[in-house]
Chains A and B, each alone.
Chain A
Amino acid sequence: MAELDILDTAQRWLAEGRDVALATVVETWGSAPVPGGSQLLVDGQTNFIGSVSGGCVETAVIGEAEEVIRTGQPRMLEYGVTDEMAWEVGLACGGRIKVYVEPVR
């Protein structure tokens, strides 16, 4: 499954001259959908592989990753239970996760 390996892909994308940001789940509480260390890789054109949740917050993380690529500054993101913002940026499972997004360069 080499085509799904996050870190091999990151190295390949960098070799192709693409901008790369890596999102990593650094903390989870409750019934979080993925274990700590789960990763999502994003390039400057919103291509991505991997996951930091069951698909609930990926869209938001990809948007933040584009900012991280643009500014070169890492960010810490936190997502909790689905609220008013509803299913766009919440975890329906009721868990909470912290996601660290960093540029790789």
Chain B
Amino acid sequence: MRKESLEQINACRSAHRPCVLFRDLDTHESFVLEPGLHVDEQDAELHELAMQALRTDRCVRREVRGQDWFVQPFNAPLRLIIIGAVHTGQYLASYARSCGYDVVVVDPRQAFASEARFPGVTLNTEWPDYALEVLAPDTRTALVTLTHDPKLDDPALQAALRSPAFYIGALGSRRTQAARVERLQEAGFEEAEIARLKAPVGLDIGARSPAEIAVSIMAEITATLRNDLSADDAD
């Protein structure tokens, strides 16, 4: 691979633009394809391979007219928006970064959302509804509310339910969740929309401590991303 290809891939990744690396494993020829750019010039079949690799987030090896192509996708980074700069959020931010997510923590309470508590994490101290207007969750975004305070959690959940976020979770007991569902219904959300909400949040692994609860949440996000979303495109 040429150094220029490496630099192009890294530039795409830092700009949150998907790209795909093609390598011919016989001739060692390689190039980077950015979907939508120069489509006319690109071979349609190679372009379709690129889109398949990005869609499934899996490498593809395919012979196209005698060339043995290895097709490696680089999707825009996954993103996790955490509402509530609380103790569990500190662990969750750390685990999510280890799993490759860009993490944003939203909490207007500046005593919570401090650099000292979240070193190196992007902090946003706007109210969640304003924050989410700017953050605009997309299909590569997960969102979790952790504050227990409807004033902060509800506006975030409502914005998330109107977005294509792939995972929406809310911390709180079954009783809290029942009350939350009533409020969402009053706000005009349909049953099917509310059903997207993972609550109580996290896989049932008997978690007790904040760190363990963060493990259960990260596991549920991963299961949603890898099992549920990939099911349609599985080989």
> Residues on A close to B: CB < 8 A?
1, 7-8, 10-11, 14, 22, 24, 26-27, 35-37, 74, 76, 100, 102-105
Please tell me if the beta carbons of B1 and A22 are within 8 angstroms of each other in the complex.
Answer: yes
Number of A-B contacts (CB under 8 A): 46
CB distance from B15 to the nearest CB of A (A): 14
Please tell me if the beta carbons of B100 and A35 are within 8 angstroms of each other in the complex.
Answer: no
> Which of these, A7, A37, A105, contacts B9 with CB under 8 Å?
A7
The CA of A15 and the CA of B45, in the complex, are separated in Å by: 35
> Which of these, A10, A36, A74, contacts B28 with CB under 8 Å?
A74
Residues of B within 8 A of A10 (CB): 6
Please tell me if the beta carbons of A100 and B23 are within 8 angstroms of each other in the complex.
Answer: yes
**Least CB separation from B73: chain A residue:** A37
Residues of A within 8 A of B97 (CB): 1
A-facing residues in B90-138 (Cβ within 8 Å): 97-98, 100
Please tell me if the beta carbons of B23 and A27 are within 8 angstroms of each other in the complex.
Answer: no
**Would you mind naming 11 contact pairs between A and B with Cβ atoms under 8 Å apart?**
A7-B10, A11-B7, A14-B3, A14-B6, A26-B59, A35-B59, A37-B58, A102-B1, A102-B23, A102-B28, A105-B3
> B62-82 vs A: 1/0 string, CB under 8 Å?
000000001011000000000
**Least CB separation from B28: chain A residue:** A74
The CA of A22 and the CA of B58, in the complex, are separated in Å by: 18
Please tell me if the beta carbons of B6 and A11 are within 8 angstroms of each other in the complex.
Answer: yes
The CA of A100 and the CA of B27, in the complex, are separated in Å by: 12
Q: Is B207 an interface residue (CB 8 A)?
A: no
Interface centre among A14, A26, A100 (most CB of B within 10 A): A26
CB distance from A100 to the nearest CB of B (A): 6
The CA of A74 and the CA of B7, in the complex, are separated in Å by: 20
**Least CB separation from A102: chain B residue:** B1
CB distance from B210 to the nearest CB of A (A): 21
CB distance from B102 to the nearest CB of A (A): 11
Please tell me if the beta carbons of A104 and B72 are within 8 angstroms of each other in the complex.
Answer: no
Please tell me if the beta carbons of B25 and A104 are within 8 angstroms of each other in the complex.
Answer: no
CB distance from A62 to the nearest CB of B (A): 18
The CA of A7 and the CA of B2, in the complex, are separated in Å by: 12
> Which of these, A11, A100, A105, contacts B25 with CB under 8 Å?
A100
